[in-house]
Chain A
Amino acid sequence: LLRSSQPLTGPNRRRCCEDEQLLGTILDEGERGFIIDTRSAQAAKQARMGGGGTEPKSCYPQWRRLHRALDRGRSLQESFIRLVEACGDSSLSMERWLGRLDSSRWLSHVKAALSTACLAAQCLDREGSNVLVHGAEGTDTTLLVTALAQLILEPSCRTLQGFQGLLEREWIQAGHPFQLRCARSASSHARGKQEAPLFLLFLDCVWQLSRQFPFSLEFGEQLLLTLFDNAYASAYGTFLCNNERERSLCKVKESTHSLWAWLNQPEEKHKYLNPLYSHNPLVIWPSVEPQSIQLWQGLFLRWIRPSQHLDEAWVEIQRLVKGK
């Protein structure tokens, strides 16, 4: 599984033999690879006008390009805001709730993200092919897809340690611009141009996986909520800045504490573990039918719904399992 940003083909269909060579070395003679472009075919074509573009078939003959349009940026942020507003709207009658939920399109984004990640995973696992994923910048939907695909495919990413490693690799070090994306969240009126909840979308997809495979992730919802919180506002330096270069310039490692270090302390760790966890060595294929994708109440209704009875149930589950 590889990731990159878009090739700078441009309006004049530039070529780059080094890039072609690089992609060529990945595939064996006669082998075929897939490129999953997270933009629609049209958007990718239009990107050429701005200097970007796609890999032309003639130059990359062994690679087969698939387009799976995933929303990012402005429209994803709008979707998030609309969902939060719908959840908080107490005047909403039952008759209109589902319509509002749908017009936010948030669950459609979850479905699309999971489907694309599954597609990538299928290419790898079922076809035995190499896959290159990119969107435009390679810092948003690209990372969403590659991180989710690894969770689906790789049991070691589903342990607490492995998941932290996945986050470090595929989000933090890969250069997802946290500082730009997670500045204001949904309720702020100062709508930054670069604000977009890609990381939250990722966490939501992980939550969907945990619901469909309750035994297969070593961590629970509490971890996901904590990560969400810390991406936006944190006492730790882990999610600071936009990339490794900035972190290095700001001397983040020298002047702040790591979230992982804190989470992994024995007295903290147990809060984040899933008591039902049992190592599952196989690939987990989620269902992306609409009935299988649910609203992440624990996050979106966190302060709205009464949690007392659900907390009691959770305590009971832990008690039962610990008793064993």
Chain B
Amino acid sequence: VENVRLLDRLSSRRAVVGTLYLTATHVIFVENGSETRKETWVLHSQISSIEKQATTATGCPLLIRCKNFQVIQLVIPQERDCHDVYISLIRLARPVKYEELYCFSFNPKLDKEEREQGWHLVDLNEEYNRMGVPNNYWQISDVNRDYRVCDSYPTEVYVPKSATAHIIVGSSKFRSRRRFPALSYYSKGNNASICRSSQPLSGFSARCLEDEQMLQAIRKANPGSDFIYVVDTRPKLNAMANRAAGKGYENEDNYSNIKFQFIGIENIHVMRNSLQKMLEVCELKSPSMSDFLWGLENSGWLKHIKAIMDAGIFIAKAVAEEGVSVLVHCSDGWDRTAQVCSVASLLLDPYYRTMKGFMVLIEKDWVSFGHKFNHRYGNLDGDPKEISPVIDQFIECVWQLMEQFPCAFEFNERFLIHIQHHIYSCQFGNFLCNSQKERRELKIRERTYSLWAHLWKNRADYLNPLYRSDRSQTQGTLHPQIAPCNFLYKFWSGMYNRFEKGLHPRQSVTDYLMAVKEETQQLEEELEVLQERLASLQKSQSSDNKVKSKQQDRSKQFGLYTSNNSLANTPQEYSNDLKSFPSRSPSQGDEDSALILTQDNLKSSDPDLSANSDQESGVEDLSCRSPSGGGCLPSEDSGKDSDEAVFLAG
């Protein structure tokens, strides 16, 4: 569709005109500029909702809201066309079969071996071994090898030594969805552990010997403590209400040596609504400070984030300081349980604060333990009541921790944002389906690629320059302040306003420091080389010249950072009353020049933008195609990682 306008939320004057394309996998908007043909790509998987608004004199507005919080406001001249686009997008954004998803057609041009290697990058068996199991207290159990005990659990789980198959099976029958207590994290130093399960089917008075034995087994697996904590992450009222439905929580009288604790994290529906309200605040036009703060408070979002964090802190403390094992559950043990266990693990074990460790953590507590990615993030069209920003909240907890402990994580904010992005993008197969069983049935590993390999390949972009493994923050347990600390929770505009470039500092401190770090390292290495050379007496001229030319290349590379500093930014509208202040629209050149990323610019600052980068919204590789009304479609692998466009400019 031609002559479509793309509006800017902050400045209605900055609308651009272009052509809108719909492909099998993307929506693409290409600006009509003479030089700059900026392209905005959106994967259908990312589309959360489409809203057709009332036709005005200027055309028919269409609002596309994405799961990665991008909001695209288009104005299509003809109502007929707008309707067609609307209907098409509705269908495209609601795939019915897995095969419709992008990951099955995405081709980063890797061979079979590389694809397989990518999937083996994260190995959970290695991880459990690293933790120190199996050992005298914990064993690996294959009782679920055909998924016959619990179809949402993995085939291999770790259980206490004294938990026989009989006990496991018996306990699974007494747990919602048969999700029996299994090991999530083992603390080598003091044998304390974090186990996870779902709620017991205790109703008002039901008991199960095997389930009670299971909890005893967990306690016995930690000789250093004579009791375990059982943490129910639900609000007490909800848990009690569940009893009427034959479920509920553990009665301290029935289970010997447990201390029971409610933590009070709200359910998925509350969280869905909370996010919705927060996004509404983000969409306000020219909000006042009050609009924003009240809106944010009203959404309750930060309160929920804090609740999850507090739960993780409680569990980490129990394990690290008291040396007591903890059994965590919620209702079904696949949402709040996953959040809380992974936050606790992150606090306890510095390994999970490394890039590799973080990937392992997500694989372990989210992927392998059957978090319902498909239902929660809408891979396929499904029940809207199942949708909830569960992993988004976990990812935000990590960001909040990064803000409080800037040296503690090996990775940076961009890493988190890209992971969140790809959980929804379905470009990689890691987060498809609802369980390991479903993924194996679909043969995900043979038919799609792993996100972890892609991120690992580009890991230079995701490093935190302040990370040093010998800092106090990076060793041992992190101790976030519990109270007073409300003010420590900030609104994450890098995530929820990700695509609003005007909001973010134009110069990335992280990128600058990484560049400085690299440059220093290279200069140090070079110094060594030169010193050696000096020591062994000068040789011919040519070797000196080689060194000189290398230096020049590097300064060109880092020249980008100093020149970045002098990129002008444009003022937003400071005057709400347009009538009283007639101002010229800022020259288009200023801001846009920052966004025109030529091949050279990209090369010098973003090391690996080759084949398997995603083609989301942002700047495309301008040299390699020219879409013309239905003509040649770009091949998947010639795109640049568009997220880089956002961060380079911002």
Interfacial residues, chain A to chain B (CB-CB below 8 A): 66, 87, 89-90, 92-99, 101-102, 105, 107-108, 111, 115-116, 118-119, 121-122, 126-127, 211-216, 276, 278-285, 287-295, 297, 301, 304-306, 308-310, 312-313, 316-317, 320-321, 323-324
Contact = CB atoms under 8 A, between A and B. Distances in A.
B565 A215 contact: yes
9 contacts: A102-B294, A102-B297, A119-B575, A122-B583, A282-B566, A291-B493, A305-B481, A305-B488, A309-B405
Given A211-B505, A291-B493, A317-B466, A98 B293 contact: yes
Nearest to B524: A323
A9 B517 CA distance: 62
Given A280-B566, A290-B291, A309 B487 contact: no
Nearest to B485: A305
A290 B283 CA distance: 12
B565 to A, nearest CB: 5
Interface string B492-528: 0100010000110111010011001101100100000
A312 B467 CA distance: 11
Contact of B574 (A115, A290, A312, A323): A115
Nearest to B587: A126
B487 A297 contact: yes
B288 A108 contact: yes
A309 B581 contact: no
B105 interface: no
Contact of A310 (B406, B487, B507): B406
B408 A287 contact: no
A324 B487 contact: no
A97 B305 CA distance: 14
Given A276-B512, A290-B293, A320-B520, A295 B574 contact: no
Contact of B503 (A90, A292, A321): A292
Contacts of B512: 215, 276
Interface string B571-600: 110110000110110100000000000000
Given A214-B505, A309-B408, A312-B472, A127 B584 contact: yes
B489 to A, nearest CB: 7
B24 interface: no
Interface of B: 10, 282, 287-294, 296-297, 300, 302-303, 306, 404-408, 465-466, 468, 471-473, 481, 483-491, 493, 497, 502-503, 505-507, 509, 512-513, 516-517, 519-520, 523, 562, 565-572, 574-575, 580-581, 583-584, 586
A289 B78 CA distance: 33
Contacts of A90: 483-484
A108 B289 contact: yes
A213 B31 CA distance: 29
Contacts of B568: 282-283
B569 A284 contact: yes
B293 A99 contact: yes
Interface centre among A90, A121, A289 (most CB of B within 10 A): A289
Nearest to B403: A310
A288 B509 contact: no
B571 A126 contact: yes
B487 A108 contact: no
Nearest to B567: A282
B586 A126 contact: yes
Contacts of B583: 122, 126-127
Contacts of B484: 89-90, 92, 304
A99 B294 contact: yes
B405 A295 contact: no
Given A126-B586, A290-B289, A321 B581 contact: no
Given A213-B505, A310-B406, A119 B581 contact: yes
Contacts of B570: 285
A141 to B, nearest CB: 16
Nearest to A304: B484
Question: What 3 pairs across the A-B complex have the smallest Cβ distances?
Answer: A290-B292, A98-B297, A313-B406
B299 to A, nearest CB: 10
A316 B486 contact: no
B288 A281 contact: no
Contacts of B572: 285, 287-289
A88 to B, nearest CB: 8
Given A214-B509, A321-B516, 17 more contacts: A89-B484, A95-B300, A97-B297, A99-B294, A102-B297, A213-B505, A214-B507, A276-B509, A279-B565, A281-B566, A285-B572, A290-B292, A291-B292, A291-B497, A292-B493, A294-B490, A316-B468
A115 B581 CA distance: 13
B294 A118 contact: no
A284 B565 CA distance: 11
A137 B503 CA distance: 34
Contacts of A283: 568
A93 B473 CA distance: 27
A314 B486 CA distance: 23
Nearest to B286: A289
Contacts of B489: 94
Nearest to B290: A102
Interface centre among A308, A313, A321 (most CB of B within 10 A): A313
Contacts of A89: 484
B484 to A, nearest CB: 4
B468 to A, nearest CB: 7
B287 A98 contact: no
A278 B520 contact: no
Given A101-B293, A289-B572, A92 B505 contact: no
Contact of B473 (A212, A282, A312): A312
B509 A126 contact: no
A77 B583 CA distance: 34
B99 to A, nearest CB: 40
Contacts of A87: 487
B486 A93 contact: yes
Contact of B306 (A92, A94, A291, A293): A94
B466 A212 contact: no
Contacts of A310: 406
Given A285-B569, A292-B503, A323-B520, A99 B466 contact: no
A253 B349 CA distance: 59
A35 B485 CA distance: 44
Contacts of A290: 287-289, 291-293
A122 B571 contact: yes
A107 B10 contact: no
B302 A98 contact: yes
B289 A107 contact: yes
